[in-house]
């Protein structure tokens, strides 16, 4: 196999320059002549390094000409949750509707991110796209505000995946932290039926280091799995299908970090309320919904 000319190692962000230099020399010496699998792990001088190899087949042969580059490993993530708000999201194969199930999954995801260093934003897309919550660290107020904006949003129109990807890229470019990893979780229930080429737009996200995880919601529907899978593969993500409400919650729990112990859902009465009548009206319904989610999960 032809040797790659460059191999990248992701090291802890707080590592000292001299240590990086020593590690680089040790890597070359210890791995010379060996084959390393893409996305494997190598432990050098008690420092665990993620291996990101620039070889399409996923392997690299270390030789004298191989260039070693050690990059900081992101300690935090910027995550954008994009939710389809086309008219078909009103369908009731998820009770009470696909849209309500999507909203509950987003609230569950945000709850898992409270008191973490990750930043999460929320956007909606249909015929048009809107930023609902900018990229921010998550607290109880964020949870309440997200519930309020979902309550105010009514599904309508068609689906433009390309516009969703364009809007997401703009948000990451304007608000993303350079040192943070960037992830887009794109929830949709159908095919792209207006706008440009989603795969072409996904290429732009790839070029800017943004990983996309398309999530399908809905049962007995027609959708373009090929396009969603291509978007995921192109950007280094995965395509997921959530056949029911429980699977959707489980999936968003995994995407939130695959924690060994799922964070207990906060009770709505413990959340710091935003002083709007919409939030107050919604309290009872949200409390019951989150309780149902909790009862199903634990």
Please check whether residues 26 and 147 belong to one and the same domain.
no
Please check whether residues 128 and 213 belong to one and the same domain.
yes
Residue with tokens 């008219």: 87
Q: For position 208, what pLDDT does the model report?
A: 93
Residue 113 included in any domain: yes
pLDDT in tens, the chain (298 residues): 344 445 666 666 566 667 766 766 777 677 666 666 655 666 655 455 556 555 544 555 665 555 666 665 556 899 999 999 999 999 998 888 999 999 999 999 999 899 888 999 999 999 899 999 999 999 999 999 999 999 999 999 888 999 999 999 999 999 998 888 899 999 998 777 777 899 999 999 999 999 999 999 987 666 778 899 999 999 989 899 887 888 888 888 888 875 433 445 544 444 434 333 343 444 444 445 444 544 543 3
Residue 1 included in any domain: no
Please check whether residues 182 and 272 belong to one and the same domain.
yes
Q: What φ, ψ does residue 272 adopt, rounded to 5°?
A: -65, 120
Please check whether residues 52 and 27 belong to one and the same domain.
yes
Is the model's pTM score more than 0.75? no
Residue with tokens 């290429």: 203
Please check whether residues 27 and 88 belong to one and the same domain.
no
Please check whether residues 64 and 122 belong to one and the same domain.
no
CATH code at position 215 = 3.40.50.410
CATH code at position 59 = 3.10.330
Strands 181-188 and 47-53: unpaired
Exposed, middle or buried by CB within 10 Å (0-12, 13-18, 19+), for 113?
Answer: buried
Cα–Cα dist 121/142, whole Å: 10
Strands (E), 74-209: 77-84, 119-125, 129-137, 181-188
One DSSP character per residue, 16-63 reads: -HHHHHHHHHHHHHHHTT-EEETT-EEEETTEEEEEEE--TTSEEE--
Residue 262 tokens, joined? 């799922």
Total count of domains within the chain: 2
Contact criterion met (CB below 8 Å) for 150 and 123: no
Q: For position 221, what pLDDT does the model report?
A: 67
Residue 94 included in any domain: yes
Please check whether residues 188 and 260 belong to one and the same domain.
yes
Please check whether residues 37 and 119 belong to one and the same domain.
no
Q: For position 191, what pLDDT does the model report?
A: 75
Domain limits for position 55: 6-73
Please check whether residues 125 and 152 belong to one and the same domain.
yes
Residue 177 included in any domain: yes
Please check whether residues 44 and 151 belong to one and the same domain.
no
């Amino acid at each position: 196999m032809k040797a790659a000319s460059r191999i990248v190692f992701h090291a802890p962000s707080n590592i000292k320059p001299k240590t990086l230099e020593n590690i680089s020399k040790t890597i070359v010496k210890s791995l010379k002549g060996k084959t390393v699998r893409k996305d494997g792990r190598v432990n050098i001088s008690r420092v665990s390094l993620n291996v990101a190899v620039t070889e399409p087949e996923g392997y690299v042969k270390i030789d004298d000409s191989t260039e070693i580059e050690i990059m900081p490993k992101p300690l935090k993530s910027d995550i954008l949750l994009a939710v389809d708000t086309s008219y078909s999201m009103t369908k009731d194969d998820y009770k009470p509707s696909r849209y309500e199930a999507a909203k509950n999954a987003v609230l569950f995801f945000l709850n898992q991110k409270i008191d973490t260093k990750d930043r999460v934003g929320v956007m909606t897309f249909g015929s048009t796209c809107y930023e609902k919550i900018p990229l921010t660290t998550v607290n109880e107020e964020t949870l309440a505000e997200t519930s309020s904006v979902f309550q105010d949003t009514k599904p309508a129109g068609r689906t433009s995946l390309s516009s969703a990807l364009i809007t997401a890229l703009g948000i990451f470019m304007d608000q993303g932290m350079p040192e943070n990893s960037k992830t887009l979780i794109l929830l949709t229930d159908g095919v792209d039926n207006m706008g440009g080429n989603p795969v072409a737009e996904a290429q732009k996200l790839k070029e800017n280091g943004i990983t996309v995880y398309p999530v399908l919601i809905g049962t007995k529907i027609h959708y373009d799995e090929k396009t969603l899978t291509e978007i995921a593969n192109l950007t280094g993500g995965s395509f997921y299908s959530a056949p029911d409400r429980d699977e959707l919650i489980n999936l968003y729990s995994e995407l939130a970090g695959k924690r060994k112990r799922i964070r207990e859902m906060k009770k709505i009465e413990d959340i710091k309320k935003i002083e709007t009548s919409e939030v107050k009206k919604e309290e009872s319904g949200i409390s019951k919904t989150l309780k149902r989610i909790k009862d199903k999960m634990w």
